[in-house]
Chains A and B, each alone.
Chain A
Amino acid sequence: MTPLLSVQGITKRYGAHIGCADVSFDLYPGEVMGIVGESGSGKSTLLNCMAGHLTPDAGQVVFDTRTDGRRDTITMSEPERRMLGRTDWAFVHQHARDGLRMGVSAGGNVGERLMAVGERHYGDIRDKATDWLGRVEIDASRVDDRPTTFSGGMQQRLQIARNLVTGPRLVFMDEPTGGLDVSVQARLLDLLRGLVRDLGLSAIIVTHDLAVVRLLADRLMVMKSGRVVEAGLTDQVLDDPQHAYSQLLVSSVLQV
């Protein structure tokens, strides 16, 4: 099987400071990988390098494109990369307002990616948007409301709908449950799990919440000071961590 995403030697420096260093891994279709680590460990830098938001100083991010097979997305042209960004890739921001157009209705937010890939039938676009609102458990009657009138959890679900409407194959998530109430988090996690399973999505989830990766991720990478210190099966890394830092991280979680 060909990996969907092959990350090789990704390094990003901020002057003398290391953002992330020499990160490599393969992600296969349908796999969900978690990246954990404390603030400043380089996990967000890595995510942004992979998603094309930052240009790494070294390394490759090879994606198995639908049309041309495996391509290094770092060296591909910007139009191609942006096209990937609205077709095969999705990016879920921690703060929904970074990923939504707050002045545009829920339907328009979901429909934007469809219109961006050339859909020009209002009725179809609206039907698809309404269908997606339903799939993320937002009532169809809210289709014309702006996200400013939505709760935090609803905004996050709307952001997910907006991202998934074009059937991406790879979803990048940056702390998708951060800043939400615990009960809202649970609902979102359940929703994400169902979508990942039913759509066969691959995903990379950056979070500092170990409970989130235990529920969502098949695999886990632990980062510290820009480097991957441990990687493996999620439950193995969490239940039998090998590296000193992973052991500290796991033992630092409050038990409830």
Chain B
Amino acid sequence: MIELKNVSKTFTLHNQGSAVIEVISDVSFAVAPGECVALTGASGAGKSTLMRMIYGNYLTQAGEIRIGGLDIVRSEPRDIIKLRRDVLGYVSQFLRVVPRVPTLDVVAEPLRALGVPADDAQDRASALLTQLNIPERLWSLSPTTFSGGEQQRVNIARGFAHTYPAMLLDEPTASLDAANREVVLSLIEDAKARGAAIIGIFHDEAARTRVCDREIDVGRFTPGMAA
């Protein structure tokens, strides 16, 4: 479902003496449907960078990244947008929303973008928010004012609203209490069970062991960091 072939990335800092920083070099791996792969490595090894490359958020200089057949390294923006809408989900560490949009709508939005009727989308959003223990009295408020943990749960609810065939999870259990952590892990297990291919970053080792089938040490592909 997700396939990387000889993927490399450099940053060129034009405004800092045109310094060229090689961050990832020659990564190849694949993730099958129903499989969850953990990216590991020390801080700065490039786990988040690699994940952003797979999402198309960072530009990839060389190689191929195929998701459901589409090589996002060479795709038009509109194809990537369609891919993100239909196929590829991404739960980042940060919630980015338009101020004043109610939480319920924030969570329902990925479904609305797919053309799901407002009522159905809101039903699904309500179920997820309930499951993630966001009190109903907060649903009509914008999540911008929520605590860090609440925002993270809203972010997860939004990320799991649509049943994406491929998902990227960046620290989904960080800053969650035990009960909510359990909910998130079961959401991941459900996604795997329905055949989603998942790539995740988990600092939480117990969580990683529980949901991930394999680990890939990104440090191996990081020039200058490899031992």
Contact = CB atoms under 8 A, between A and B. Distances in A.
- The answer to whether any beta carbons of A and B sit under 8 Å apart in the complex is yes
Interface of B: 11-15, 52, 56-59, 77-78, 80-81, 96, 98-101, 112-113
Contacts, number: 54
Contacts of A233: 56-57, 77, 80-81
B98 A219 contact: no
A190 B57 contact: no
Interface in A137-192: 183, 186-187, 189-190
A251 B56 CA distance: 20
A218 B59 contact: no
B98 A232 contact: no
A135 B199 CA distance: 41
Given A193-B98, A240-B57, A218 B13 contact: no
A240 B58 contact: yes
Interface in A21-37: 28, 31
Task: Describe A's contact surface by its main secondary structure.
Answer: helix
Contacts of A219: 77-78
A247 B58 contact: no
A104 B99 CA distance: 33
Nearest to A232: B77
A80 B13 CA distance: 48
B113 A232 contact: no
A82 to B, nearest CB: 30
A240 B77 CA distance: 14
B100 A28 contact: no
Contacts of B57: 233, 235-236, 239-240
B100 A244 contact: no
B81 A197 contact: no
B58 to A, nearest CB: 4
A240 B100 contact: no
A187 B100 contact: yes
Nearest to A200: B115
Contacts of A190: 98-101
Contacts of A83: none
A218 B99 CA distance: 19
A2 interface: no
A13 interface: no
A214 B94 CA distance: 15
Nearest to A235: B57
Given A215-B98, A218-B78, 17 more contacts: A190-B98, A190-B99, A190-B100, A190-B101, A193-B98, A219-B78, A232-B59, A232-B77, A236-B59, A239-B52, A239-B58, A240-B52, A240-B58, A242-B12, A242-B59, A247-B15, A248-B15
